[in-house]
Amino acid sequence: MHTNYKFRSEVLFSDIESVREIVTSTGFFREDEIPVAVELVEEGFNKGKESGYEFIFMEYEGTTVAYSCFGLIPCSLLSYDLYWIVTHNDYRGRGLGSLLLKESEDRIRDLGGKTVYIETSSKESYLPTQKFYEKNKYDLKARFEDFYDYDDDKLVYIKKL
Per-residue model confidence (pLDDT) at position 2: 59
Q: Which CATH number describes the domain made up of 5-160?
A: 3.40.630.30
| HEC profile of 124-143 | HHHHHHHHHHHHCCCEEEEE
Per-residue model confidence (pLDDT) at position 154: 97
| Global pTM value | 0.93
Q: CA 35, 36, 42, 46 torsion: positive or negative?
A: positive
Task: Output the CA torsion 34→37→39→40 (10° steps).
Answer: 170
What distance in Å separates the CA atoms of residue 104 and residue 97, rounded to the nearest whole number? 10
Query: Which of the 8 DSSP states describes residue 61?
Result: T
Per-residue model confidence (pLDDT) at position 80: 98
Per-residue model confidence (pLDDT) at position 3: 66
For residues 100 and 68, the answer to whether their CB atoms sit within 8 Å is yes
Q: What pLDDT tens digit does each residue of the chain (161 aa) get? A: 456 899 999 999 999 999 999 999 998 888 999 999 999 999 999 999 999 999 999 999 889 999 999 999 999 999 999 999 999 999 998 999 999 999 999 999 999 999 999 999 999 989 999 999 999 999 999 999 999 999 999 999 999 99
Helix (H, G, I), strand (E, B) or coil at 78: coil
Strands in 79-87's sheet, in edge-to-edge order, are 5-8, 54-60, 63-72, 79-87, 115-121, 152-160, 139-149
